[in-house]
Amino acid sequence: MDNHFQKEIEELRLKVLEMAAYTEKALVQANQAYAERDTDLAQQVIDNDYAINSLECDIDNLSLKLLALAQPVAQDLRIIVGIMRLIVNLERIGDEAVNIAERSLILAHRPPLSYNPTLEELAKVSLEMLRNALTAFKDEDTDAAQRVCDMDARADELDVSVIKKLIDHMLKESPAIERSVHTILISRSLERIADLSTNIAECVIFIVKGVNIKHRCSRI
């Protein structure tokens, strides 16, 4: 039976999926802007961030309204609380995409550093984690969410390895220091995105199962 309240929850979910689509697109474009030294694309990511932010506000307001007026319980309560947590992480991923775009703008005006396959791999892994976390939300799939959590260690590893490589490079070639630092910051952003995607996956597990696996609060 679909009552009035169920429809509002569905509307809320759709808005989250819309925000998710914008965020995912921002990350794809930021990665591409870096890889292809495309300043127009980088600027586009920066300019479009307001859409993500304003959707966050909309979803937040709608969630608050539903909490106050419908006083939901059980799965209805969990989905709203879960969504409120989820969008905070999504919005931060948008911000990290902007960070990557800003670094890419700067780097595009400098001579390129040598090709860095580890950084490319990190970009791939963090995007995949974000995509899987969002699909897990869409399908309420806790197995997929768990796989995202399990991938986080890989992202951390790649980030450490990128930074190590770049530090070595800076030691050898001091003119490359500035470019290397910006690249390190991109790597950091990608690693944060992996963390934030893991948080989203944890939200999905909370929504579906009602257990909090954050900081190992309780194990499933």
Partner 1 sequence: MQPAKNVKMYARNLDFYYGDFKALHDVNLDFGENEVTALIGPSGCGKSTFLRCLNRMNDLIPISRVEGAILLDGDDIYAPRVDVVQLRRRVGMVFQKPNPFPKTIFENVAYGLRVNGVRDKQYIAARVEESLQRAALWDEVKDRLHSSALGLSGGQQQRLCIARALAVEPEILLMDEPASALDPIATQKIEELIHILKKNYTIIIVTHSMQQAARVSDITAFFYMGKLIETGETEIMFTRPKNKQTEDYITGRFG
Residue 87 burial (CB count, 10 A) = 25
Token pair recorded at residue 217: 């609060």
In the set 72, 146, 147, 169, which binds partner 1 (CB under 8 A)? 72
| 140 lies in the site for partner 1, by CB under 8 A | no
| 65 lies in the site for partner 1, by CB under 8 A | no
Q: What is the rounded distance in angstroms from the CA atom of residue 114 to the CA atom of residue 120?
A: 12
| 78 lies in the site for partner 1, by CB under 8 A | yes
Instruction: Name the segment binding partner 1 (CB under 8 A); options: 52-60, 71-79, 84-92, 144-152.
Output: 71-79
Q: How far is the CB of 80 from partner 1 (least distance, A)?
A: 12
Nearest C-alpha neighbor of 107 from the set 188, 29, 167, 178: 178
Instruction: Name the segment binding partner 1 (CB under 8 A); options: 65-73, 99-107, 149-157, 193-201.
Output: 65-73
Measured CA to CA in angstroms, residue 7 lies from 40, 66, 104 at distances of 40, 11, 42
With beta carbons less than 8 A apart as the criterion, state whether 81 and 59 touch.
no
Q: What is the rounded distance in angstroms from the CA atom of residue 215 to the CA atom of residue 72?
A: 26
| 3 lies in the site for partner 1, by CB under 8 A | yes
What residue type is assigned to position 80 of the chain? I
Q: How far is the CB of 82 from partner 1 (least distance, A)?
A: 12
Instruction: Name the segment binding partner 1 (CB under 8 A); options: 23-31, 32-40, 90-98, 203-211.
Output: 203-211
What residue type is assigned to position 141 of the chain? D
Interface residues with partner 1 (CB under 8 A) are 1, 3, 5-6, 71-78, 209-211
